Amino acid sequence: MQAALDWLNKNHEEIVQGLAELVAIQSISTDGEHNPEIDRTAKLTCDQMRQAGLHNVDVLKVGQSLPYAYGEWLEAPGKPTVFLYAHHDVQPVNFVEQWLSDPWKLTRRDGRLYARGSADDKGAISAQLAAIAAYRKTGNTLPVNIKMLVEGEEEVGSKNLLKFFETHRDRLKSDVIVVCDTENIEVGIPSITYSLRGIVAVRVDVTTAKIPVHSGMGGGTLPDAAIALNAILGRLYWDNGPLPIPGYYDEVRPLTDKERAGFNKLPADAEKVRQSIGMVPGARFSTEKGFSDYAQTWRRPAITVIAQEASSIKGASNQVLPKASAIVSCRIVPDQTPENVLKALTAFLTANPPWGCEVTVTPAGPPVKWWMTDPNGPAFEAALSAMRTGFDRDPVAIGGGGSIGFVGPLSELFGGAPALLMGIEDPASNAHAPNESLHEGDFKKLMASLVGLFANLGKLTPTTVK
């Protein structure tokens, strides 16, 4: 293992250059306009897989999906097979005026590597391939078998991923799942995520008439669809208590005393958060009383209005608007069922509509179930030990407020394979936002942790890894 670690140190600039080549391609999946770039990134990922020493490398698709890059190394008989996941598609570059450097050119600044996709999730591609190459370039072997899949449509909900898994089940079947698409709680604190929230998203449509009417003729007489919609959405305001939706918390799994105590011990800096997002002076956090920010983010439901539309400001006209719409995104937690969340939310939003307007609530995409596992057992011990060595400090087990919908179903598909979600981002990474970045020191430590993880898992067998 030491030779592999030495190789990482010696070849760090080459690894960073490989990441620079990845982020230079604008593989945006959210607008449907960058499919050629996504094809290029998949091919480049395959080239880098071959360079790292993987075999049977290929670009794969299922149906009309965007491309997946796949590679494997299966020459460790009797050893566990590790499934590595990452994704090569990225978010668009929004608020471009706030970027301090070219979002498509990897830029070093203040100990960080800035570019769109540097943290989410092309950094994971580079980290995983570097750990593989570190072994293959020194001893020409690996302590474990590897199957690596890099998806091309994660940022649009991985809509074909479960079908892909089912189609290629035998080819992908593994003993352990490793994902590097989550967060470290702070720079320098290695974090392994053992729970994720799910998503239920709905579209709310309000209709008051078929056509708009001049506000000088109808204003004050005719029902305003935009005001009606906002009156309905205003019902969701929770102040600093629970969401005011009847029955919404009936299925929520309570925090144990051990979990609550563990969350309270984690470092937290509310003022740093305020400054990092430019929170206006008069605004306060909306956390429920009696819960820490971590408990709120990881184990309590949340509702966000992520889009609202009635008329464009640019094309505004003096009209009473007949229609207005919004998309409401709900983060769900153990043990909430998507069906019951949808039912409770629909009833709440459609009851007693303002001015008797028509209100419809329909699903905005398929739901994503929450996921939670027990962060104990041989695979987790292997990961925690590797992270402890790689970061030179004790790791922490944390929750995640986001969603990675495939983790639970893939674990089940692989017969209960442990899923190890090892952090690569940190609170300053700005994933999906301007000035996305990867902390270079943590990047190095993650690669060293992956080298250690492969070594630790190599001491186990497929039957003893769970």
Q: What is the CATH number of the domain that holds 220?
A: 3.30.70.360
108 forms bridges with which residues in the sheet? 113
b/e for 106-143, b at 16 or more Cβ within 10 A?
A: bbeeeebbbbbbbbbbbbbbbbbbbbbbbbbbeeeebb
Q: Which token pair is 451?
A: 């080298």
Of 331, 346, 363, the position where a domain reaches its end is 363
**Shared-domain flag, residues 346 and 406:** no
- The count of C-alpha atoms lying within 13 angstroms of the C-alpha of 266, restricted to the half-sphere facing its C-beta, is 22
**Pairing state of beta strands 176-183 and 419-425?**
parallel
Per-residue b or e along 181-214, where b marks 16 or more CB atoms closer than 10 Å to that residue's CB: bbbbbbeebbbbbbbbbbbbbbebebbbbeebbe
In a domain, 296, yes or no: no
Q: Which domain holds residue 331?
A: 198-252+301-363
In a domain, 27, yes or no: yes
- Domain shared by 394 and 437, yes or no: yes
Calpha distance 423→391 (Å, rounded): 12
Give every residue of the chain whose pLDDT is below 70, as ranges: none
Rg, the chain, Cα only = 24
Given this model, what pLDDT does residue 12 score? Answer: 98
Residue at 264 is within a domain: no
Q: Tell me the HSE value of 158 on the side-chain side, using a 13 A CA sphere.
A: 22
pLDDT at 56: 98
Interatomic CA distance for residues 398 and 423, integer angstroms = 10
180 and 327 assigned to the same domain: no
Instruction: Give the 3-state secondary structure of residue 39.
Output: helix
105 with 237, same domain: the answer is: no
Residues 6+ apart with CB under 8 A from 38: 27, 28, 29, 66, 67, 88, 89, 152
pLDDT the model gives residue 94: 86
Residues 6+ apart with CB under 8 A from 245: 236, 344, 345, 348
How many structural domains compose the chain? 2
Q: Residue 376: inside a domain, yes or no?
A: yes
Residues 219 and 154 in one domain: no
Percent of the chain with pLDDT over 70: 100
| Digit-coded pLDDT (tens) for 311-325 | 999 889 999 999 999
Please check whether residues 326 and 392 belong to one and the same domain.
no
Q: 203 and 347, same structural domain?
A: yes
pLDDT value, residue 157: 85
Give residue-wise pLDDT tens across range 158-208: 989 999 999 999 999 999 999 999 999 999 999 999 999 999 999 999 999
> Is position 116 within any domain?
yes
Question: Are residues 74 and 111 both part of a single domain?
Answer: yes
